[in-house]
Amino acid sequence: MRYLLNFLYGVAILLYSPKILYRMLRQDRYRAGWGQRLGRIGRRNPEKPCIWIHAVSVGEVNATRTLVDRFAAQMSDYEIVISSTTDTGLSRAKALYGADYEVFYFPFDLSWVMARAFRRLRPSVVLLMELEVWPNLAAIAKSQQVPVVVINGRLSDKSFPKYMKVRYFIRRMFRKVSLVLAQTDEYAQRFIALGCDADKVIVSSSLKYDTAQTDGAVEGAERLALQINLGGQRLWVAGGTGPGEEKMVLAAFARLKKQAGVDHLRLAIVPRKPERFDEVASLIDAAGFGYVRYSALKTGDDAVTGKPTVILGDTMGDLKKFYALATVVFVGRSLVPMGGSDMMEPTGLGKCTLFGPETFNFKQTVEVLLAGNGAIEVADENALYEQMLRCLQDTDFAKHIAANGQKVIRQNQGATQKTVDAIAKLIS
């Protein structure tokens, strides 16, 4: 079976190679880490047992923060290593953990590559954020009696039907999973439907609730306010935006600037993908707004001259600081069919938060926020404008939404300790 799987992987790599080459040449991606992707991975403390945590991209990496801290505190005799798949995910993992832990690209799931990775890491347990179960990884772990655990488990409305279509071929893989810690009852039932043993699936809530800051000052926010010369002005932050949304945001912003009671409003746009920074800069320029790129300010000590109407957040890892300064937040990738971005961070900070209807990646969070009157869903560009206008003109309404959202986040925290307890029990 593994020979057939390796052959299919090889075909897929050949078919995908033109896209890889294009991104290498035009977007400066996929240029580093090929040795790691081929299983050449090292450890800093090879004498210790090892916990291998894998998180695909930036959102999943961010969700590991409280978990890694808790492992370090309660299971300090284990070495922690962290892998990621995407360039942005790895960059974020290095920023968070590079000083203390080994961080590397996730190896290809070719049998010989994954076997090499296991020989070098010798993990005591493999923790996969949300879903990332791979056939050869599962098979090799099973043969070496290494538990594979899905943590923060999630199967979205979009991905679950696709998995169900091929469940006959993948259920053996899911049966090799030692434990699933699912975010919700619905997700738990979906893992069982794909082949996981029912007695190995536990509902633990989402780790992302625990990573959401709900009190205290956000480090670096005061400096950001000085750098962009915010003063006493109000700031609308559109965070984690996707293709097509920036035009809607800019159009709504242009309408807002013409309304009474919306004085001194500025806009910060923070696109989700760094390769889109230049594109979004062109959109802001075409809309006729004066703007500044935060990358031009970040490394300096001086504030921007004047008060540019729009700030382009074209750096990585600074979105939380923008949210901390926001009067109102729009969470992107939600007015276009991209599944949404993380709305827990701004709601946890006590910000009045809006998002569109395309939020299948955060279904449970959206449900509890809307049920608790802790966020506002907008259907389209016009609804975005109307609700923004209401929030800016009716400050009591906006404060009420913000307080409710923060309360919902606090009520759903606690997954980190449940996860650590379950892993400790499993590998003891």
pLDDT higher than threshold 80 for residue 3: no
Query: So what's the pLDDT on residue 28?
Result: 67
Query: What's the mean pLDDT in 123-127?
Result: 98
In the predicted structure, residue 54 carries a pLDDT above the cut 90: yes
Q: Which residues of 210-235 are buried (b: 16+ CB within 10 A; e: fewer)?
A: bbbbbeeebeebeebbebbbbeeebb
Q: Is residue 428 over pLDDT 90?
A: no
Q: Please give the domain boundaries of the chain with CATH numbers for all domains.
A: 9-212+413-427 (3.40.50.11720), 221-411 (3.40.50.2000)
d(CA 357, CA 363): 10
Q: Per-residue pLDDT tens for 362-389?
A: 988 999 999 999 999 999 999 999 999 9
DSSP per position, 252-289: HHHHHTTSTT-TTEEEEEEES-GGGHHHHHHHHHHTT-
Please pick, among 60, 102, 245, 246, the residue that the annotation labels catalytic. 60
d(CA 328, CA 340): 17
- What's the angle, vertex CA 291, arms to CA 286 and CA 296, rounded to 5? 125
CA pseudo-torsion sign 115, 116, 117, 118: positive
pTM of this prediction? 0.83
- Return the pLDDT at 351: 98
Residues 6+ apart with CB under 8 A from 268: 228, 235, 236, 237, 238, 310, 311, 312, 313, 322, 325, 326
Catalytic residue list contains 60:
yes
Cβ neighbors of 93 (< 8 A, separation 6 or more) are 55, 61, 82, 83, 84, 103
Single out the residue of 214, 408, 275, 251 nearest to residue 330, CA to CA.
Answer: 251
Half-sphere exposure of 134 (CA within 13 A, CB side): 25
pLDDT digit string, tens, across residues 129-139: 999 999 999 99
Whether 318 contacts 224, CB under 8 Å: yes
Region 325-329: mean pLDDT is 98
| C-beta neighbour count of 7 within 10 angstroms | 10
Joined together, the tokens standing for residue 91 give 């960059």
**Helix, strand counts (H, E) of the chain:** 21, 14
Token pair listed for 54: 């894998």
Q: Is the CB of residue 185 less than 8 Å from the CB of residue 215?
A: no
- Average pLDDT of span 230-252: 97
Mean pLDDT estimate for the chain: 93
Mean pLDDT across 277-289: 97
At 84 the three-state DSSP class reads: strand
What's the rounded mean pLDDT across residues 79-95? Answer: 94
Looking at residue 147, its amino acid is P
Alpha-carbon distances, residue 56 vs 32, 127, 373, 387, 422 (angstroms): 16, 12, 31, 34, 22
Return the pLDDT at 244. 97
Mean pLDDT across 248-258: 96
20: confidence class by pLDDT, cuts 50, 70, 90: low
pLDDT top residue among 338 and 27:
338
pLDDT tens column, 288-304 = 999 999 999 988 766 78
Calpha distance 145→227 (Å, rounded) = 53
Position 23 scores a pLDDT of 67
pLDDT-based confidence at residue 10 (cuts at 50, 70, 90):
confident
